[in-house]
């Protein structure tokens, strides 16, 4: 079982009680920082968001399938009051616990089911190559997304692609998708659609810049559609990294590199996934 699979198994076995990030990281065999970074990249959920969603989904089923009072359901889900439970429940599902109890079904709720990391469905990971990249500056459009909100990223690329070929100081023709963890056990991450630049003095309005120090990378190949990148990320962070004897560097979490082997119109081709490594 992969490291992320072990983390999910531990959460599923214990989420009805109080569990800490330390306990989950111990079960996964990863550091707290490493687990917080890669869990969202692989699953599309932050750890706290996944636990909250699973608890509230279980609570929703209890509302329609048991005679417990709403306060009792709230307490079982880890909330100290009816008000706190109602607020969290409405934020999760867009409806109050009282309304769910009255309607008597959960068909209109997007319940969070257990994540299943099935190794049989994962493509085989090609061995990486290793490269040392000198310090580099990226410039592009950056947004902050909630884990699980990756569906909005293509629209960022659509806006960025309107600048193709006209970005002052651009170095080379490759484009980059850069992920950086916001920090701590957060619900969000930064994503930048960018190019490498030699000069940042005359960039278009709204462009952000990111300077990355020179460092060594493990470079993996992802073949096929970009929607399959999370499965490749699962293989990298869940299986290869824990068995490789190396550790992730500090910044960025990773970046995707798109060159002429990738077709941006169809979203298919070869994508390189660069993972920074600690010396």
Tell me: the pLDDT tens digits for 225-270?
A: 888 887 888 788 777 887 888 888 877 888 999 999 999 888 899 9
Q: Report in angstroms the alpha-carbon separations of 269 from 108, 131, 160, 166, 206.
A: 37, 21, 19, 24, 29
Q: Is residue 117 part of a domain?
A: no
CATH code of the domain covering residue 18: 1.10.10.60
Averaged pLDDT, 9-25? 87
Quick one: 72 and 209 in the same domain?
no
Average pLDDT over residues 187-191: 80
Q: Same domain, yes or no, for 96 and 134?
A: no
Q: Is 267 left (phi over 0), alpha (psi -120 to 50) or beta?
A: left
Q: Are residues 164 and 93 in the same domain?
A: no
d(CA 152, CA 129): 31
Predicted pLDDT at 195: 95
Residue 277 has which token pair? 């490594």
**Angle formed at CA 35 by CA 150 and CA 57, multiple of 5 degrees:** 60
Residue 138 and residue 99 in one domain: no
Kindly state whether residues 186 and 141 are assigned to the same domain.
yes
In a domain, 113, yes or no: no
Distance CA 21, CA 24 (A): 5
Residue 257 lies in a domain: yes
* 78 vs 95: CA distance, rounded Å: 19
- Whether the CA torsion 140, 145, 150, 155 is positive or negative: it is negative
CA 3 to chain centre: 15
Q: Place 185 in a pLDDT band, splitting at 50, 70 and 90.
A: low
Contact (Cβ atoms closer than 8 angstroms) between residue 215 and residue 254: no
Does residue 229 lie within any of the structural domains?
Answer: yes
In-domain check, residue 48: yes
State the residue range of the domain holding 266. 129-277
- Longest CA span, the chain: 66
> Rounded to an integer, what distance in angstroms lies between the CA atom of residue 185 and that of residue 81?
24
Task: Looking at the structure, tell me whether residues 99 and 133 fall in a common domain.
Answer: no
Count the domains in the chain. 2
Q: How far apart are CA 255 and CA 258, in angstroms?
A: 10
Q: Are residues 70 and 151 in the same domain?
A: no
Q: Do 179 and 248 sit in the same domain of this protein?
A: yes
The residues, ordered by sequence, that sit 6+ positions from 278 with a Cβ below 8 Å of its Cβ are: 246, 247, 248, 249, 250
pLDDT digits (tens, 9 = 90+) for 25-44: 888 877 776 777 678 777 87
- Indicate if 146 and 68 belong to the same structural domain: no
Name which residue leads in pLDDT, 32 or 62.
Answer: 62
**pLDDT at site 121:** 53
Paired strand residues for 224: 269
Banded pLDDT at 151 (limits 50, 70, 90):
low
Contact by Cβ (8 Å): 236, 2: no
Whether 34 and 160 map to the same domain: the answer is: no
Average pLDDT, the chain: 86
Among candidate residues 54, 85, 103, the one where a domain is terminated: 103
Q: CA-CA distance, 250 to 20, in Å (whole number)? A: 23
Q: Are both 273 and 136 inside the same structural domain?
A: yes
Summarised one tens digit per residue, pLDDT across range 75-134 is: 999 898 999 999 999 999 999 999 999 999 989 999 998 887 655 455 678 999 999 999
pLDDT at residue number 122: 57
CA distances from 29 to 25, 26, 35, 86 (A): 6, 5, 9, 35
pLDDT of residue 239: 79
Rounded Cα gap, residues 41 and 97, in angstroms: 31
- 135 or 186, which is more confident? 135
Tokens of 105: 């079904």
Minimal CA–CA distance to 125: which of 265, 231, 217?
Answer: 231
Q: What percent of the chain has pLDDT over 70?
A: 92
| pTM > 0.85 | no
Q: State both tokens at 124.
A: 């085989």
d(CA 150, CA 41): 10
Identify the pLDDT of residue 128. 95
Rounded distance, CA 137 to CA 147, Å? 25
Same domain, 159 and 210: yes
Residue 197 placed within a domain: yes
């Amino acid at each position: 079982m992969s490291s992320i699979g072990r983390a999910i198994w531990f959460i599923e076995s214990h989420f009805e009680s109080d569990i800490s990030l330390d306990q989950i990281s111990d079960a996964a065999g990863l550091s707290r920082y490493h687990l917080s970074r890669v869990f969202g990249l692989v699953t599309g959920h932050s750890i706290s968001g996944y636990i909250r969603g699973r608890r509230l989904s279980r609570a929703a089923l209890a509302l329609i399938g048991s005679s417990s009072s709403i306060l009792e359901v709230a307490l079982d889900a880890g909330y100290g009051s009816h008000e706190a439970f109602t607020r969290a429940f409405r934020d999760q599902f867009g409806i109050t616990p009282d309304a769910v109890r009255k309607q008597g079904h959960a068909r209109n709720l997007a319940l969070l089911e257990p994540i299943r990391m099935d190794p049989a469905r994962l493509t085989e990971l090609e061995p990486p190559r290793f490269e040392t990249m000198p310090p580099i500056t990226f410039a592009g459009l950056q947004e902050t997304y909630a884990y699980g909100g990756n569906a909005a990223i293509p629209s960022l690329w659509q806006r960025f692609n309107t600048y193709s070929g006209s970005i002052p100081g651009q170095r080379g023709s490759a484009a980059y998708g850069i992920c950086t963890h916001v920090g701590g056990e957060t619900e969000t991450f930064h994503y930048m659609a960018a190019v490498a630049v030699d000069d940042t003095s005359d960039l278009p309005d709204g462009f952000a810049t990111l300077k990355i120090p020179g460092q060594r990378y493990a470079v993996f190949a992802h073949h096929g559609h970009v929607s399959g990148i999370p499965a490749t990320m699962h293989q990298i962070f869940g299986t290869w990294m824990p068995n490789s004897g190396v550790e992730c560097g500090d910044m960025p979490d990773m970046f995707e590199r798109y060159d002429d082997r990738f077709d941006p119109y169809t979203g298919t081709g070869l994508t390189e996934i660069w993972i920074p490594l600690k010396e």
